Amino acid sequence: MNLSFLAIVSLACALGAAIILVGYLTRRPALTGMVKVWLLLGLGVLPIGAAASGNLQGYETTKQRSFCADCHVMSPQVSDSNDPHSGSLSSRHSRTALFGAENCYVCHEDYGMFGTVLTKADGMKHVWLYYTQYLHVSAEAAKSRIHLYQPYPNESCMQCHSTTDTIWQSVPDHTAALAAVRTNQVSCASVGCHGFAHPNARPPVAP
């Protein structure tokens, strides 16, 4: 088990609080001022510390590719990302430091003003769909069912590939499709350009 610093802090706070609470429940002392101070630690300060560090750790955990891989229907995508010899967009990006083990999240994150919240809300939807529709579907069968809600937005690619760089613009196909790329009429991840992003990727289907 490889625990991060935040996880250790959270567990230490939880352990401290648990010791105080179990001690109170077993010894049952009179409610003096000092007992209330101990309970403030056991019910307030330490649990808040455990929850705060636990939430931060939980948030970081949900960004990891290994977290996405917990749903078996994601295993083809994750296996491809993990494959150092794969030439897919997702695999190539996972080999860069910026994306690394968080490449699923970095690519599929909504970059709008409320992007983080919207991305997490979508993630909750995926968990719901997994447990209600995909739990007993094989990864192979799920390949033909899983799809994007909407065309992959080029804005996500343009977080790094700005389309204003001279090297980028020196590619004739880029120059020809510049307006279409910036307005999402042509997807960077489409066949003939740089896609698909995953070996089993399918065009988006309206929900």
* Residue 31 vs 179, nearer CB to another protein: 31
Distance CA 87, CA 71 (A): 23
* Residue 22 vs 141, nearer CB to another protein: 22
Question: Which among 46, 54, 1 is positioned nearest to 19, based on CA atoms?
Answer: 46
Summarize as ranges the residues that interact with another protein (CB under 8 A). Answer: 1, 3, 7, 10-11, 14-15, 17-18, 21-22, 24-25, 28, 30-31, 36, 39-40, 42-44, 47-48, 50-51, 54-55, 57-58, 61-62, 67, 70-71, 124, 127, 130
At its nearest, how many Å lie between another protein and the CB of residue 47?
A: 5
At its nearest, how many Å lie between another protein and the CB of residue 95?
A: 24
* DSSP per-residue string spanning 80-118: HHH-TT--SHHHHHHTSTTTGGGHHHHHH---STTHHHH
At its nearest, how many Å lie between another protein and the CB of residue 29?
A: 10
At its nearest, how many Å lie between another protein and the CB of residue 21?
A: 4
* Residue 50 vs 106, nearer CB to another protein: 50
Distance CA 104, CA 107 (A): 6
| Single-letter residue type at 39 | L
What SS3 state is found at 61? helix
Distance CA 140, CA 137 (A): 8
